[in-house]
Amino acid sequence: MLRTHTCGELNKNNIGQKVTLNGWVHRRRDHGGIIFIDLRDRYGLTQIKFDPAVSKKAWQEADKLRSEWVIKASGDVIARPHDMINPRLKTGEVEVKINNLEILNRSATPPFAIDEIKADEANEALRLKYRFIDLRRPEIQTMLATKDKYIQHIRNYFQKHDFIEIQTPILASSSPEGARDFLVPSRLYPGKFYALPQAPQQFKQLLMVGGLDKYFQIAPCFRDEDPRMDRHYGEFYQLDMEMSFVSQEDILNIMEPLMIGLTNNFSNKKIVDLDKDGKFRRIPWREAMAKYGSDKPDLRFDLEIIPITEMVVNCGFSVFAQAIKNGGVVHALKVNNGAKFTRKEIDELTEIAKTKNAKGLAYIIVKKGKELQSPIVKFLGDKLSQKIIDKVKAKEGDIVFFGADEWRVVCSSLGAVRDKCGLKLGLKDNHKAAWCWIVDFPMYSYSEINPGKIDFNHNPFSMPQGGLKALNNKNPLEILAFQFDLVLNGFEVSSGAIRNHDPLIMYKAFAIAGYAKKEVDERFGGLIRAFKYGAPPHGGNAPGIDRILMVFNDLESIRDIYAFPKDGKGKDLMMDSPSEISEKQLNEIYIKIKKN
Question: Annotation-wise, does 120 bind a ligand?
Answer: no
Q: How far apart are the first and last CA of the chain?
A: 57
**CB-based contact 80:95 (threshold 8 Å):** yes
What dihedral angle (degrees, nearest 10) is formed by the CA atoms of 344, 348, 350, 354?
150
d(CA 259, CA 433): 10
Question: Annotation-wise, does 277 bind a ligand?
Answer: no
**CB-based contact 115:91 (threshold 8 Å):** no
Question: Annotation-wise, does 382 bind a ligand?
Answer: no
Question: Annotation-wise, does 458 bind a ligand?
Answer: yes
Question: Annotation-wise, does 177 bind a ligand?
Answer: yes
Strand partners, 217: 240
The backbone torsions φ and ψ at residue 533, rounded to the nearest 5 degrees and listed phi first, read -120, 45
SS3 297: coil
What dihedral angle (degrees, nearest 10) is formed by the CA atoms of 289, 294, 295, 298?
-120
Question: Annotation-wise, does 499 bind a ligand?
Answer: yes
| DSSP state for residue 69 in the 8-state scheme | -
Q: What is the DSSP string of 9-33?
A: T--GGGTT-EEEEEEEEEEEEEETT
Question: Annotation-wise, does 242 bind a ligand?
Answer: no
Question: Annotation-wise, does 545 bind a ligand?
Answer: yes
Question: Annotation-wise, does 223 bind a ligand?
Answer: yes
432-439 and 270-272: which strand pairing? parallel
d(CA 279, CA 435): 9
Question: Annotation-wise, does 224 bind a ligand?
Answer: yes
Is 13 buried (19+), middle (13-18) or exposed (0-12) by CB count in 10 A? exposed
Question: Annotation-wise, does 567 bind a ligand?
Answer: no
d(CA 385, CA 461): 48
d(CA 201, CA 223): 14
Is 432 buried (19+), middle (13-18) or exposed (0-12) by CB count in 10 A? middle
Region of 414 on the Ramachandran plot (φ > 0 left; ψ -120 to 50 alpha; else beta): alpha
SS3 124: helix
HSE-CB for 120 with a 13 A CA cutoff? 6
Q: Residues comprising the binding site for ATP?
A: 223-225, 492, 544-547
Q: Which residues are annotated as a binding site for L-aspartate?
A: 177, 223, 458, 499
Q: State the binding site.
A: 177, 223-225, 458, 492, 499, 544-547
